[in-house]
Chain A
Amino acid sequence: MITELGHFALILALFVAIIQSTIPLIGAARRHIGWMAVGRSCALIGFGLTALAMLSLMHAYVTSDFTVINVIQNSHTDKPLLYKITGVWGNHEGSMLLWVFMLSLCAAAVALFSSNLPPALRARVLAVQGMIAVGFMLFILLTSNPFLRTFPPAPNGQGLNPVLQDPGLAFHPPFLYLGYVGFSVAFAFAVAALIEGRVDAAWARWVRPWTLASWCALTIGIAMGSWWAYYTLGWGGWWFWDPVENASFMPWLVGTALIHSSIVVEKRDTLKSWTILLAIITFSLSLVGTFLVRSGVLTSVHAFATDPERGMFILLLLVTAIGGSLTLYAVRAPSLQGGGLFAPISREGSLVLNNLLLSCGCATVFIGTLYPLFLDAMGGPKLSVGFPFFNRSFVPMMVPMIVAAGIGPMLAWKRGDLLGALQRLWVAYIATALVLLVTFYLTYGGPVMAVLGLGLAAWLFTAVLTELADRVRLFRIPLADSWRRAVNLPRASYGMSVAHLGLAVSVAGFAASPFAQEAIEILKPGGAIHIAGYEITLEHVDRLPGPNYVADDATIRVTSGGSLVTVMHPERRYFQLQNQTTGETAIRTNLLADLYVALGDADTKGDWTVRVYWKPLVPWIWLGAVIMAFGGMVSLSDRRWRVGVAARASRRVSQPVAAAGE
């Protein structure tokens, strides 16, 4: 009964979305206030209905209702409650429902927090969001319906893929989808602006917080996925350039470019059609990513059950959404007039450079990801490009970007003084040189590129700090005055600094990976591995029962110089239901390096394969991502976003709003 309610709610939501995508649009064209206002009510009702659909599917999972096909295929009574809930989106149908839920959440957020938007723009934005919702709801109802029943009920379910039964992965999709789908807001704003034929600073100011928020969610989502791969897959890697990973990384790259280019639109009223294009492409890449993952045109370790029919449907969606918006772009964008001119050496110039490098980086990842597909279509061999391609093409493009990220913020708008900026960065040169020398000395004979990478990280880190110090004129005016300046700096500027610091921290984490040490040995109980000054002894392996698995739990003693450091427990879990074995790695971190132990197979004589990795700075990769996302949030808390352009005219209104956040 509750399942039927959910099913019905989703169908109803489809019809509401159809109204949302048409009536406000007509209203905006005819300047009919009442029709325009329909969009807002529809968005809120649509959110309520999809939330109901989502909750009813969750209910079916929690109560293990084995008359619902989707529950049979993906759940089991023995599964822990957490995974019964997260199992809702651990499969194709459910994850699409989550997608639609996030979409309606974004639409409702736009409806609620857009009272300072001109009514026509708001109506058009909501209508575009309604169109996207219509497409995806049709997709769910026609090809991937999670509410279908079967009779008689199955005695029990088939369980969730054991690899997915993990807390890290449980919350990875919601963040990722929030990021993907959040970019639909920027997309809707871009399409609405093209329909209106007007892009101005106010437009950029409305779009930026939405882009920033989705970017933060996507950053967290990608970091969580990478962290999950790191501790679950058991070989210590954290990024595999797998098509599915790339599918989430490409919108992130272009989204990052979008955040930067919309600054130029906001401050200098130029780069308009480029920014619109970026907004369209960012969301388009989210859609293409969904297509690649769901249609099975590319092989990937993450592949869900795939189905060419679904692929065809998503392709139709792609053609309508991307083709439609790009057509609109081709027609309208030429008439968008650019505003301020600027010299190549200027803040704008450096942001253009950032955009250029990020989009080229994204294009490389795109080509690398789709290369097998292109080759296959030409009748060529089925090949996939691996690490070497991405490392040789993508990384060199990111190096100048990071160098420039240290200098760019020092340049003035319109016309910058490069020499002056370079002179003011002298502290950063000294720090970078110091880091280079020390790491080179410590790792003499080791990988030189890694040392240079660490130097790059040090450069960005100190350059950002130098820029902050320069801004508050530290040591050049009395400290109290510097402090006053620091307090009065806008949050957005702190946000930028924090995010760039986060990038530096992550870069250090990436760069240090060649210093990792690893050892794989077949150990008898009592045997030991020596790595990075630690002695790792396999004490014994015990068979322990789990809720829906049996585990071989190893007790591993780690000593350093004779004194006990820690005892670690890597496991191998055997899931009887799926006849599948998963590894649970044990990680000991001191935030400077990880000691990572994975238990492999036992051979016939009862010896165990033990893999040990010592990975310096690896936790910084995710730490940096969290700092980046935090920087985004700091920037989001800037009063400028809440003080809309309309409200700005009457200062009295803006004051209490701003005070609330401080």
Chain B
Amino acid sequence: MKRIVYLLPLALFFVLVGYFLISLRPGHDTHELPSAMLQKPAPSFDLADLGDDNKLALAGLKGHPVIVNFFASWCVPCRIEHPLLMRLSQQDHLPLYGVAYKDKPEDAARLLATYGDPFRQVGLDQDGRVGLDFGVYGVPETYVIDANGIIRKRFVGPLTAEAVEKDLMPLLKQLEPSS
């Protein structure tokens, strides 16, 4: 019986090797992010609002193209992105909506109070359920949802001025030809 204990490290190691083998299998790219959600209806959500009693719900966003940004106060790259979001909301008046991903309401509120709030509305996704539905890989992530509630574009990681110029702005123009 005692001998089995000494076999345990070896057994655990081979379980680990099994996992390593799976992730090394041919044709498997860990860097590729699933884009299964693109051009599909956005998962429905109904989130408590940060600050007031309104709710941030997908149904309420339909009718206009919107930008949904997943962020968190514990996420460092989000702070890098923040000045750009401020500029997009203040100078370009883009319809930005925030989802505080796995974040405490008071922390998210403090972040927005310190650096400014670029969002028209912020929903609280404390258990990360909505993030899971969207397939959020890590914060920040930004989604463009059109007037019919279809996901048209996904940006992984902090938005850059270049991505805004090249991808985001032309897409928004195309989605809302009237404005």
A residues bordering B, Cβ < 8 Å?
A: 235, 237, 240, 273, 277, 280-281, 284, 288, 291, 295-299, 308, 311-312, 315, 318-319, 322-323, 326-327, 329-330, 333-334, 370, 373-374, 376-377, 381-384, 386-388, 518-520, 522, 600-601, 603, 609
Contact = CB atoms under 8 A, between A and B. Distances in A.
Contacts of A240: 76
18 contacts: A280-B9, A295-B24, A297-B20, A298-B30, A299-B31, A323-B13, A330-B9, A334-B3, A370-B19, A374-B19, A383-B138, A384-B137, A388-B102, A520-B79, A520-B115, A600-B83, A601-B161, A603-B87
B129 to A, nearest CB: 12
Given A386-B139, A387-B74, A601-B83, 13 more contacts: A235-B76, A237-B76, A277-B9, A296-B30, A299-B30, A318-B20, A323-B17, A327-B10, A334-B3, A373-B23, A388-B102, A520-B83, A603-B87
A444 B49 CA distance: 30
Contacts of B75: 386
Interface string B1-20: 01100110110011011011
Contacts of A374: 19
Given A326-B10, A376-B30, A235 B74 contact: no
Contacts of A296: 30-31
Among the interface residues A235, A322, A382, A518, which one has the most CB atoms of the partner chain B within 10 A?
Answer: A382
Contacts of A334: 2-3, 6
Contact of A329 (B6, B72, B74): B6
Interface residues of B, number: 41
A-B pairs, 7 with minimum CB distance: A326-B10, A377-B22, A297-B23, A330-B7, A387-B74, A330-B6, A609-B83
A382 B34 contact: yes
Contact of B82 (A326, A370, A381, A520): A520
B21 interface: yes
A356 to B, nearest CB: 16
Contact of A318 (B17, B19, B102, B161): B17
Given A296-B30, A297-B24, A370-B19, A329 B83 contact: no
B138 to A, nearest CB: 5
A520 B86 CA distance: 11
A121 B94 CA distance: 72
A251 B23 CA distance: 23
Nearest to B86: A522
A609 B81 CA distance: 11
Nearest to B102: A388
B43 interface: no
A235 B80 CA distance: 8
A386 B140 CA distance: 12
Interface in B56-115: 72, 74-76, 79-80, 82-83, 86-87, 102, 114-115
A260 to B, nearest CB: 19
B132 A273 contact: no
Given A381-B132, A388-B74, A388-B102, A319 B17 contact: yes
B24 A308 contact: yes
Contacts of A373: 19-20, 23
A383 B137 contact: yes
Contacts of A322: 13
A193 B3 CA distance: 18
Contacts of B72: 386
Nearest to B34: A382
Among the interface residues A291, A312, A326, A329, which one has the most CB atoms of the partner chain B within 10 A?
Answer: A326
A52 B126 CA distance: 57
Contacts of A235: 76, 79-80
A476 to B, nearest CB: 47
Contacts of A330: 3, 6-7, 9-10
A522 B19 CA distance: 47
Interface in B38-64: none
A315 B20 contact: yes
B44 to A, nearest CB: 18
Contact of B21 (A273, A284, A315): A315
Contact of B74 (A326, A376, A386): A386
A329 B9 contact: yes
B6 A333 contact: yes
A297 B10 contact: no
B57 to A, nearest CB: 23
Among the interface residues B33, B80, B114, B132, which one has the most CB atoms of the partner chain A within 10 A?
Answer: B80
Contacts of A386: 72, 74-75, 138-139
B26 interface: yes
A110 B135 CA distance: 52
A376 B137 CA distance: 12
A107 B107 CA distance: 52
Contacts of A609: 83
Contacts of B13: 284, 322-323, 326
Given A376-B30, A600-B83, A291 B23 contact: no
Contacts of B136: 383
B9 A312 contact: no
A236 B87 CA distance: 23
